[in-house]
Each structure stands twice: as structure tokens, then as C-alpha cells.
Amino acid sequence: MTERKGAARRAREDDRQGNPKAGEEGKEKQMIVQFFFYLFAALLLISGLLVITLRNPVHAVLFLILAFFNGAGLFLLAGAEFLAMILLVVYVGAVLVLFLFIIMMLDIDFAELRAGFTRVLPLGLLVGGVLVAELVMVFLAWQPSPMAEKLRMAATPEGVNNTEALGRILYTDHVFFFQAAGMILLVAMIGAIVLSLHHRRDVKRQDVAKQVARRREEGVRLVDVKPGEGL
């Protein structure tokens, strides 16, 4: 215990005196962090580009998994290990694996799905152009807050871990934005269900209103069966 205290005391004295070895070690650590940041960022961009350009959906899902792994690496470098684990456990471990099984097990005719692509291409280009114009206007008008630098350099509060700090931000400070994001995802899920729903005429479906309005005479038939005779 005394040796640890002495080492910590010597480290603080070296920091106050401006020890050149400590400065060199700090620069080396910073260079390593920057190297891995650019490595993860480059792999993330390449994987995302391959996801939207590959024709094979199985390969696209595999590159999406690689993109999520690199995103988790960026979260780790930023000190958000909770978000990194959530990204790997929830998205890679559950959602993408489910997508992969669905694509590989279901007999999906992708040629038929791409048949109507040229028909809706002008509308897609129009919507994409509007979104790109909005993003350009937002980035041109964006300015950093005067408090951004101070908040970035602010020390982490003592006694508050990463998960608790994230919970305070999401469910206390920005709870309305969090709920709005949930509503957007709910609308997107309902839209995906409506677009993928196909009604088949040869399938007998349940009509609840007709069943509720049915009378006793329509559902019950009394038969007088004589002794010794069957129906």
C-alpha cells in the first residue's frame, strides 16, 4: 500500500514539474487513440458503403455487422462502453442475426422486388434531392455553441458511472426528444408492416363483425333424430 501511495505521489510530482517522459507517454497514447479512431472510422464508412451497394442481401447483412462492430469500437474510444455493449448485444446479437436467418430461410424473389425500381426512381431521386438540400442548409447554418468547448473539457462528475449519466440525459434532460424518436420508429414499423402486407383471395379470413351480428337461427340447427337412426 505504501509503495502504491509513493508511486502515485511521484506521478503527481512529475506532472507538476512537467516531466518530459510523462509528456511523451501522453503523446504516444494520444497517437494510438487517433490511429484506432481513423481505423474504425474508415472501416465503418467502407462497410456502410458496401451495405447499400452489394446486390447479395446476405453479404450486405454481414457487412452491416462489421459496421456495427466498428461503431462499437468508436464508442469504446469515446468512453461510452455501455453504448458499445448495447450495440453489439442488441443489434448484432439479436436484430441482425434475425435478419440474416429471415433472408436465408425465406424464399424471397429479389428480382420481382427490383422490377418496380425504375418506376419509382424519379420520385426517389426527388425525395433524396430534397433531403440532401436540407442537410446542406443545416450544415451551412450550424455554428458551435460558445459553451461547447467548456462542456467538452469538463471533468466527469464523481460517483456517477456511464450508465447512470446516460439514463439522466435520455430520461430526464431530453425525455421529450427520446419519446419523439420512439414515435418515429413506431410509425416506421407500422409503415413497413403495411408495405409488406399482401392480401390473398384464396385464404379464408375471420370477419369479427359478421360473427358478432350472427343470430341464433343462423348458427343453431335442431334435428329430430328418431331412435335407431343416425344423422
* CA-based torsion, 154, 158, 163, 169: positive or negative: negative
Tell me the one-letter amino acid at 10: R
pLDDT band at 19 (very low <50, low <70, confident <90, very high): low
What pLDDT, on a 0 to 100 scale, did the predictor assign at position 6? Answer: 43
Count of CB atoms situated within 10 Å of the CB of 84: 20
The Cα 49–Cα 60 span in angstroms is 10
Class of domain 1-108 (CATH, top level)? mainly alpha
pLDDT > 70 in the chain, percent: 80
The Cα 64–Cα 57 span in angstroms is 10
Residue 49 and residue 16 in contact, taking contact as beta carbons nearer than 8 Å: no
What pLDDT, on a 0 to 100 scale, did the predictor assign at position 3? Answer: 39
Give me the DSSP letters along 152-207.
HTPPPPTT--HHHHHHHIIIIISHHHHHHHHHHHHHHHHHHHHHH----TTS----
Count of CB atoms situated within 10 Å of the CB of 68: 21
What pLDDT, on a 0 to 100 scale, did the predictor assign at position 187? Answer: 93
Which single residue is written with the C-alpha cell 446476405? 58
Geometric angle at alpha carbon 154, from 148 and 156, rounded to 5°? 130
The Cα 126–Cα 193 span in angstroms is 24
Q: What is the pLDDT of residues 200-228, one digit of tens each?
A: 777 777 788 888 888 877 778 777 777 77
Q: What is the pLDDT of residues 151-201, one digit of tens each?
A: 666 566 677 777 788 888 888 888 999 999 999 999 999 988 888 777 777
Where in the chain are the domains? 1-108, 109-140, 161-195
The Cα 164–Cα 87 span in angstroms is 17
Geometric angle at alpha carbon 201, from 195 and 203, rounded to 5°? 100
Give rounded-to-5 percent helix, strand, coil for the chain: 75, 0, 25
Tell me the one-letter amino acid at 126: L
Average model confidence (pLDDT) across the chain: 79
The Cα 231–Cα 218 span in angstroms is 19
Chain Cα centroid distance, residue 72? 12
